[in-house]
Amino acid sequence: MNTFLNFEVDLENFIDQLNNKLQHNKKRIKELLDTPHKTYANFVKPLEMMEEYLEHFFTPLSHLNSVSNTQQTQKVYAESLPIITQYSSELSQNLEIYKAYKTILEKEQDQLNDEQKRVLKLNIQNFELSGAHLDELTKQRLQDINIRKSELSNSFSQNLLDATNAYEYIITDEKDIEGLPSSELKSAKFTDEDEKVKYKFTLQMPSYIAYMTYGPNRAIREELYRAYVTRAPQNAQIIEELLQLRHEMANLLGFKNYAAYSLATKMAEDEKSVLNFLDNLLINSQAQAKKELQEVQSLSDETLQAHDTAFYSELLKKQKYDIDEELYRPYFEQSKVINGMFDFLNKLFNLEFKKVDLVLWDDKATAYDLYLNNTLKARLFLDLEARKSKRGGAWMHNWQAHCLDEKNNEQLASAFVVCNFPPSSKDAPSLLRHDDVVTLFHEMGHTIHHLLSDVNENEVSGVNGVEWDAVEFPSQFLENFAYEPKVLKLFASHHETGEIIPDAMIEKLVRSKNFLSASSMLRQLEFSIFDFRLHTQLYQGDEIQELLNEIRTKTALVQTPEYNKFQNGFAHIFAGGYAAGYYSYKWAEVLSADAFFEVVNEGIFNSKTAKKYLEIVLKKGGSYSMQKLFFQLMQRDPDPMALLKINGIHK
C-alpha cells in the first residue's frame, strides 16, 4: 500500500523540478504511444497515474500559495502556471492519445469494468472539448487561450487578496464600537505608540462582517462597504479579456457560447433548463423576500441602504427570535466543534479520526488519519483560522485520490480543508459563529466524498469525474445536519463551564435558520443568473454592468449603489472553476435537501438512507453520473420542491 505524501515544497528549485517532471512525462508519453498493441492496462492506466503523480507534486504549491501567501510563493506559482497549462493543453489536444482511447473503448468494451469505461468516455469528451480533433492552427490558439486564462485568473485572485490586505479602518471613539461583541472587540483592539487604545477593522471576512453586523456608526459602515465593493478595480480589465477568451474558445470548439460549452460536462441538459430553473426559484421567492424586507425596514427611520441591511437584520433577528449570536459562540469552541463533528460522522458512518503528529505549513494546521470500520482509509489536513497570508473563504482541496496504481497497489486518498475562522491565541480560544459551524460541515461534506471513495481509477475517484452541478450535493447534505438538535448536542458545550447548549437555545437557532431566507435566495440567484447570462453571449465594457443592473431590478430589493462593482471580486467565476456554473449550488441543493429529509425522517443515526448514501454516493465518487447514483439512492428523480421547503420558502 502506498503511504501518504509528506507536505514539502522546495520553492527555490520548484520550477526546475517541474520542468524535469514534465520532460520525463513527455518522454514516457512518446514511449506509450509507440506501444504496438495498446490496452487499458498498458496504455490508459500509466497515463492516468502520470496525471495523478503530477497532482501530487503541484498541489502543495497551489495550496501553499493560498494559505501561506508570500512574494516568493506568488512568484513561483505565477511562473509555474504557464508551464503546467501549456503541458496540460498539449496533452489534452494530443490526437494520437484521443484516437487510442476511442479504439480501446471500442475493442475492449466487453473486458472493461464500469469505472474504466467512464474514464475512457470522460477522457474522449475532454479531448473533444479541448479540440484534439481540430487542425494544428486552431489547437495552438486554444493552447494560447488556456495559458492566458490561467494567468488572468491568478492575477484576479492576487489583486483581490492584495486589495483586501491593504485596507484598514481605525476607530478611536468608543461610541463607534458600542454594541459590538466582546470577542470582536478583542480581535480589533490595539494600543498605538502613544499608548492610546484604538480599534482596527479590515476587509478580512471575520472583521468586515463584525462591523457590518453590529457597528452602530452608519457612516463607518458605508465606508467599509464602499471599500469592500470597490476592491481591485483593475480586475475589470481582466474580466473583459477573460470573457473574450472564453467566448472565442467556445466558438473554436463548435459551441455558440461559453455557457453551452460549460454545460457539456454537467447534469443540466441545456441553457433553457438552467435559466428556467433559476427563474422558477426567483418567482417563488420574490413575494416572501419583499415581506422580509418590510420587516427589516420597520426598524429604521431612514430608507435602508445596502450598508444597513446586515445591521438592521441582526436587530430584527434579536427581536424576533431573541437570538444573540454572541451568546452562542462560547458553545462553539473550535476544537470541540471539530471533535463533535468527528463524533457525528462516527455515529452516522462508523468513521474514526486519529490525530497525526506532523510538521506542516503553519502551527495551527493539523492532520488526521481517517478509519472506516477500523480500516485506515485516508488522511485529512485541517487549516481553519484566518491570517493575513491566507486567501479568504473556505474550501476543500483534494491531493491524493483513492485508486490502484499501475502495479495494482492501493493508494489511499488525502485532502485539505481550509477555513477562515476567528484566530485563537494563548489568552483566547477560537469561538465560532454558528455560520462557521455550518461552513465546516459543508467543507467536510466535500472532503468525505473524496476520502471515502472505493473507486480504483483515480480519474473518477472521489470528487474527480463528478459533474460540476452535482459536486455540491455531498457538502450541502452534510451542512444541513449542523442545525439538527441531536447533532448539536454532540459538541455544543460551553467552553468554560462545560454546560451543554440548552434546548431553548437550540430551538431559537432552528427557528431562526430560515430567517430572511427568501432574501438570501434572491442574492444567490442574482449571482447565478448574472454568471450564466454573462456567458450566453459576449459582453464587454459597460454591457457587463448593464446586465448586472438589469438582473438587480428583480433580485435586489434594496437599491445597490452605483459604485458597487461586485463583479471585480466575484472570484468564484473569474478565479475559480464556477464560470457559467454558479447555478450549481442551487441545482445540487435540490439533491441534498431531498436526501437530507429522507435521513431525518428515519431518525438520523439509524437511517437506512444514510447507510445507502455512504455506499452509493460517497464510495462511488465520480464513477457514475450523479443522476444515476441519486436514482439508485432514492429510487426516483429529485424533487425540486425540497429546495424551497428546506429554505422555508412558501409558494
Max Cα-Cα span within the chain: 80
Distance between CA atoms of residues 471 and 588, nearest Å: 7
Q: 366-372 and 351-356 as β-strands: parallel, antiparallel, unpaired?
A: antiparallel
Query: How distant, in Å, are the alpha carbons of 106, 340, 347, 420, 475 from that of 604?
Result: 45, 16, 9, 29, 17
Distance between CA atoms of residues 266 and 601, nearest Å: 30
Q: Classify residue 117 by burial, with Cβ atoms within 10 Å: 0-12, 13-18, 19+.
A: middle
Q: Classify residue 503 by burial, with Cβ atoms within 10 Å: 0-12, 13-18, 19+.
A: exposed
Distance between CA atoms of residues 248 and 271, nearest Å: 18
* Beta-carbon contacts of residue 265 (< 8 Å; ≥ 6 apart): 125, 129, 467, 468
Q: Can you list the pairs that 435-441 forms with residues at least 24 positions away whose Cβ atoms lie under 8 Å?
A: 436/332, 437/332, 437/337, 437/482, 438/479, 438/482, 438/483, 439/394, 439/479, 440/337, 440/338, 440/341, 440/384, 440/394, 440/482, 441/341, 441/478, 441/479, 441/481, 441/482
Q: Which residues are catalytic?
A: 443
Distance of CA 128 to the CA centre of its chain: 27
SS3 382: strand
Query: How distant, in Å, are the alpha carbons of 103, 115, 404 from that of 458?
Result: 21, 10, 8
- Could you report how far apart the first and last alpha carbons of the chain are, in Å? 54
Please, are residues 397 and 432 in contact by the beta-carbon 8 Å criterion?
no
In 3D space, the residue among 630, 606, 634, 635 whose CA is nearest the CA of residue 620 turns out to be 630
DSSP 154-193: HHHHHHHHHHHHH-EEEE--GGGGTT--HHHHHHHEEE-T
Radius of gyration of the chain (CA): 25
SS3 366: strand
Query: How distant, in Å, are the alpha carbons of 234, 370, 621 from that of 609?
Result: 49, 22, 17
Distance of CA 40 to the CA centre of its chain: 33
* Beta-carbon contacts of residue 375 (< 8 Å; ≥ 6 apart): none
SS3 303: coil
Q: Which amino acid is at 309?
A: T
Q: Which amino acid is at 167?
A: Y
Q: Which helix (H) or strand (E) covers residue 273, if one does?
A: helix 271-297
Q: Which helix (H) or strand (E) covers residue 419, if one does?
A: strand 413-421
Please, are residues 421 and 390 in contact by the beta-carbon 8 Å criterion?
no
SS3 288: helix
Distance between CA atoms of residues 502 and 648, nearest Å: 24
